[in-house]
Each structure stands twice: as C-alpha cells, then as structure tokens.
Structure 1
C-alpha cells in the first residue's frame, strides 16, 4: 500500500464553486504554503516571492511573466538528492529546461533526462557532464542518436525494435558501446488524465510486457555486442500522489528481470521507475513527502526483488514537476472585468493559453490571487480567461476573487513552474513571456521574453 496516499482533493474539490462553504475576504488573500513557492509572503498586502515585490517585477519586466523562486527550486533538488542518496535522481527536463536550470542541477548534484536533440543541446551548451544525462524519446532520429553517442551520454532508453537496430549500427560505426535501458510498458493504469497516463499498452511509448515485446527487445539487444543492456525503465504517468501504481509496476518488471536471468543468465543492475509525482495545485491537494516517497520506493524495489530471488538493482527516479512546479508563478495584468449576471465574472488577463495551455489541454486546476494588493471586498465567483480567439482560452475555470477587482490589478497564478513555459506557443502571434529567477530580493532574467521582431524573424 502507499506510504503517502492522499486523495487528489478533498470533498470540497468535487463541489461546484457555489456549493462550497462561503469564503471570507481573508481567504482570498491567503498564501497557502502547500501551493505557493517557499519564499512567498504577503508584505504590506502585496505578494512577494524571493523577497521581490510583484509590482516591481511587472514594472521592470512586463506581464505576462514567469517568475521562478530559485531558493525553492534548489531546495527541492537538494531534498531529492538527500532522500535518494543511495540512488540516482535525474531531473525530467521536459518540465522546464533552460541553461540556468541546468547549472542549478549541476551545482546540486542531480542528473538530467532529455527527450530531444534540442534538450540535449541545452545541457551540453553549459558543460553539463554527459555521463549524468539519460536520453529518452519514442522516435529518436539518427542525428539525435549520433549526437548522444558522440557526447557520451550515460544512458539511452530504447523504445522500439527499429531503434535497437539503428543504435547498434551507429555505435558500431563509432566503435562505441553505450549503456541502454528498455522502456517497458507494464500495463499499469495510473489514476490520471488519459493524455498523461503512459504505461497502458495502447499508446506510443515503450515495449509491452504483456505481449512479449519487451522480452524480445532484450533478446535483440543482447545479440548486439555493441550495446550494453544495463536495466529496465518504466513510467506510469504524471501527477501521481501515491505509490500503489509503482508497486504494481515494480512487481511486473521483476518478473521480466527473472525471465532475463533464467533465459540469458544475465542479471541487470539498474531499475528506473520514472517520475510523475504530483504537486498541490488547489486547496485540499497535498504533494507526497519526498523522504516518504524515497523510503516507499526503496522498500517496494527491495521487497519485490527479494521475493523474486534477485539482487536489488540500483534505483533511478525522474522527478520533474515536483522540483520546478511549486516554485513557479505566472504574473498577469487584468485588462477587463465582465460580469455575466447570474453566472460569474469573467476576468480577462494579458496572457492565456499561449503561456499556459494545461487547463485547455488537461482540464488542469490552479490557484490564483489578487497579487498587487490586499482586499477586504466580498468574494466574487470568477473565471480567469486569456486574450486569445478561443472560448476555451481559460487559465482558472472557477474560483473567487475580490469584488473590487479592477483593470490594472495584478493576478498571480501558483504552481506554474512545470510545463507552462515548455508548452508555450505563439498562438495569435503573442510573444512568449520572459522567465525571471528571484532570490534574496534580486530578480534576474534567465530566459528573455520574445518581441514582435522575434515573431517575424525567419519569415520571407
């Protein structure tokens, strides 16, 4: 059973906003430490992060603006490094990657997962140790595999028969013998959105355990002396808040490890259970404790391997969202406030689905507050919407803001450090916002915001 099982939300989260207990004005000003960055506070009524006033951030860098609490992110990296001291922690770069994040990872001693040649290029550009990089992807190109080989990445996770052949050929050409893992689809159904559940058989990732494809991949790799098979990889989904699915996946992977030992006399030394650990986005949600997570996963792997008569392999985990997600907020300026009588008030901000598509894509939920001041006005049922030409351009579907909200006010949305910038687009030709890191009262740009010139560059 789970060591840290907790529902995705409490009973209030399942109610419609008008059915929930009434809110007091003070509730609207609250900064819940379970949801907001660790250095967040109300200072003279204004939201501050990393000791920086959001009004100063908006004045100096404009809005929309991604704000990343450096101390929060680094502290979570250290939490993982400590909790998994006898294992390997590889940050899942797809959550959010830039040169500065890679530098933080190097400082804090973590590894890195990349899923494309572009992500690999970011890591190599700042001298990140290639042996601490794992290369993922269900359709790695020849160019991507070649670059990974020549850079000397630590592991390549193979995803298909074609890739095994392709990688073997490229390795032989260069006289190299890369370490590889097999991505195994274990048939575990994570309790998450269809588009972020990744271990059932009917999807694009991995080689099925149930059909025998994973076992056949083992045979093909072991037949190629230019590839070194070192372990199995599994990823069961995203925004997962208990260990039950990991336990089932580990047990199923153990059956394959036993089969490999019996059929080939080979004992694989590594096991990668992926990532996907959840964070708190709204009231009532609770993220897993990292130490309890580490202890729980270690206990699971040890028990299933002992039960199967196997030596315990070295464990790898791949957190992404839990490292960078809680430390990020997005700052917007209110443009219009439109009351739809009898329903709710539509609050339009100067960004939208181009800087956060998760609500439209997954039905994600968020917490937002009036950030530029405190208010004692009564709660107003609101919907935070963007400026795009789409009725589905929604950031927060149903929540409360103060009734005296006005154009020019600043709204902050919590827990946007993961996937928002990574999935950002130029829909309706909106430039992607800057990313600013804050720490010790100082703000510095780590990713420049785009301009109209950037949008037009490359057009003939």
Structure 2
C-alpha cells in the first residue's frame, strides 16, 4: 500500500498527521473517515504556486462536490481558494461556514428556481450558466431584483477524454453545457443582446474526471482560446476569464500513473501563453477547478474486520463494518483501492489473496477484489486509502446504515468535524 502525505509507520502501526490510526479507531469507532489536513493545505498551495495565482491573478476553485463540510469551506477560505458548488445544499453549507459569496462559482445543469434565487440573494460571484432555461430565469429574476449577475457560459467543447464513460463530460453527447458544434453556444451569445441583467464574464468547460494525460487539456485550451478570439471579432464580446474545469487524475492503485500538480499547471499555462501569442490576444484570467486532486489522497477510511469466509479453491471474503454506503465508487465505477491492516504494516508473512466485502445486503457490495494482505484476522482494523473524494459526499443510508463521522488530523492532534449519525438522526425526518 502506498503511503500518502504525512503517513508514516511507527512500531509497525500506521500514523497519519502524527496520530495513530489504531488509536483513532478506538476513540471514534469504525467505520471512520480520516483526513490529512497538511496534505490538503499543501495541495492548495501547490496549485496556487504553479498556476501562477499571485503573478497572473489566476484562480483555483475547489470543486466542493468531492468533499464538502463547513470545516472544509473554512480551510479553503484560509488558503485563498475559490469554491465551486453545484446545489443549494452545497451553497448553504458555504453560507453557514461564512465562506465569501463573491468567491463562489455556482454550477449545475438543472438549478431549481429556489436554488437560483438563493444564489442571487446571497450574492454568488459567478453563475456558470448551463442552458437556455437557466439563462432566461436568471435574467428575469435579476431584472425583478434590480441586480446584475456575472456569469460564465458552460461550453461543451467536443473533447472525448479517455476516462470512464460515466465521468467524461466534454463530448457533444452530454447533459452539460452549450454545444459548439450545433450552434447552441452562439445562440446563447446572441440572446445576450437583449438581456441587461446578466454580464458574460467568461466561458467554462469541463472535459471529464480522473484524466492522466495533459494533452486533452491542451486541446481544451486551443478550443477555448479560439472561442475567445471569435467572440471578440464576430460578436464584439470580450471574455475576461476562461475556466478549464477540473478532472486531474490521482493515484488509487499501482496501475495509476498520475502526473504532478506542477506538471499539469505548468503545461496548461505554457499552452495558454503560446496560444494567446499565436492569436494575438490578451491572456485572460485562467481558472482551474480541482476537486479529487485536492482531497482524494488526503482521505482514508478505517474499518473493523468481522467475518472471514473462505470458500475453498474459490475465494476468501473478508467482511468489514462499512461498504458501499460509505464508498459507492467500486460498485459504481469499478474503482480500485489499496488497503492494509493498520497495526501490521511491516508484516511480510502469511500473505492471503482476499476480497474485501462490505456489509450491505448486495452481492455487488465489494470494496476491493483479489488483493494480497498479510496476517489478517477478525477484529483487525483495515484501512483503505485515497477515499477523500466522493466517499463522504456520496455516502448513503442504504439498509438504514448511519453515515460515518469525519476526523481531520494534523500535527499530532485529531479534530472531529462531523459526528457519526445516530439511529435517532436516521429517523429524525420521519413522521
């Protein structure tokens, strides 16, 4: 199992942020989400440095859908990062955390009337407008409230990134954005001639998730900056900001070969500079929206091992006290993960090939298939790494299973930032 961030081994036991994972399991019970705060902050700072936030006034906006709590909002605010939200719930979380509304980008392909009104009333900095329906509602609402709202148009650039079909979004057959190839984007620009209460500040595109190569982003830069020039020449519309979305891939297993934050940022900046020089246009303010790559490797999940079922000549199932309710990605995307026993980190005897199974009443509730693990027995504490993105945020109460608590660790201290859901919490909305 690869160690990330502040992970280290002391007396055969795994520590994160200077805190024993075995002691965390004792203190908070399992299942438990554990986040390495130093790693998250370090990732924020790397993005800001290598994307030239200070020098060029570029922006990093954290894609909150990956993992969002009030504490996370406070953390990225302290780090000077913007926030991308995609629902009223995420927006409300940011509001309650006192995140600056002017540093929020409000995404979503079907914002409801209530969500749009909430965003306008709270003073959201940018609405990323996804369709004609939203554009019309936003103009009407802002007119009624005598407000002018800054917007980006979300562009579907026609890039088919090589990733899982459920998490690629840049191709023309997508529920997101105004397509370039069928003329929808230009129709939206034409409509702005009659609209006085929305102000087109920029354009946005997102080509997918868990992308390991820089070349799709270079293609995106090419398309988006050509579009900036075309809008100026053909429509007299000046685009001041260009948002390239997120999607930068991270390490989950030894099969993954992610590039560094530095390499991605520098390649994108370099391509933008070259393209603007070629087109003889001013370099706009550039935005990236990392989500997974800020938090995935910073998060881990601790489980207690229960039953171990050996089916001779077939498979050994090792069952844990969590599963698809706290990490749906293996069932949804066939996502891979690594694991270990937290107080047997240096053991190299008694290797077993096992399948880590969850406790839900579903045959598909499998966290890791056919992994080698050493000296395993019931009662052990198992860790799966790189669960910081889309674990907590996609968690469910299937089988009436309460959601896990969340703990941040840093400099030898642990901090509970989200309580474990109780059975009473589970029924609190039922009448």
Matched, 1:400 2:367: no
The answer to whether the 8 Å contact 1:215/1:256 transfers is no
1:313-368: per-residue Cα shift (whole Å, max 9, x none)?
Answer: 11000000111111100000000111122233111000000000000000100011
By relative contact order (CA 8 Å, sep 6+), the higher-ranking structure is 1
TM-score (norm 2): 0.96
Match of 2:216 in 1: 245
Matched, 1:79 2:49: no
SS in 2 for 1:247: helix
The answer to whether the 8 Å contact 1:89/1:319 transfers is yes
Deviation (angstroms), 1:283: 1.5
Give the number of equivalent residue pairs. 426
Match of 1:385 in 2: 357
Match of 1:144 in 2: 115
The answer to whether the 8 Å contact 1:51/1:441 transfers is yes
Match of 2:26 in 1: 59
The answer to whether the 8 Å contact 1:258/1:308 transfers is yes
**Following the alignment from structure 1 to structure 2, what is the Cα–Cα distance between the partners of residues 342 and 386?**
22
Match of 1:46 in 2: 13
**Following the alignment from structure 2 to structure 1, what is the Cα–Cα distance between the partners of residues 302 and 327?**
12
The answer to whether the 8 Å contact 1:222/1:229 transfers is no
The answer to whether the 8 Å contact 1:164/1:221 transfers is no
1:48-72: per-residue Cα shift (whole Å, max 9, x none)?
Answer: 1111111111111110000001111
TM-score (norm 1): 0.90
Picking from 345, 349, 358, the partner of 2:316 is 345
| Structure 1 residue ranges (4+ consecutive) displaced by more than 6 angstroms after TM superposition | none
SS in 1 for 2:392: coil
1:187-236: per-residue Cα shift (whole Å, max 9, x none)?
Answer: 10111100000011112111101101111111112431111101110000
Match of 1:32 in 2: 2
The answer to whether the 8 Å contact 1:250/1:301 transfers is yes
Match of 1:190 in 2: 161
**Following the alignment from structure 1 to structure 2, what is the Cα–Cα distance between the partners of residues 311 and 207?**
24
SS in 2 for 1:260: helix
Picking from 414, 436, 457, the partner of 2:407 is 436
The answer to whether the 8 Å contact 2:221/2:268 transfers is no
1:222-266: per-residue Cα shift (whole Å, max 9, x none)?
Answer: 431111101110000000112111121222223322321222222
Match of 1:107 in 2: 78
Structure 2, unaligned runs of 5 or more: none
Deviation (angstroms), 1:276: 0.5
Deviation (angstroms), 1:303: 2.2
Moved more, 217-226 or 45-54: 217-226
**Following the alignment from structure 1 to structure 2, what is the Cα–Cα distance between the partners of residues 222 and 325?**
43
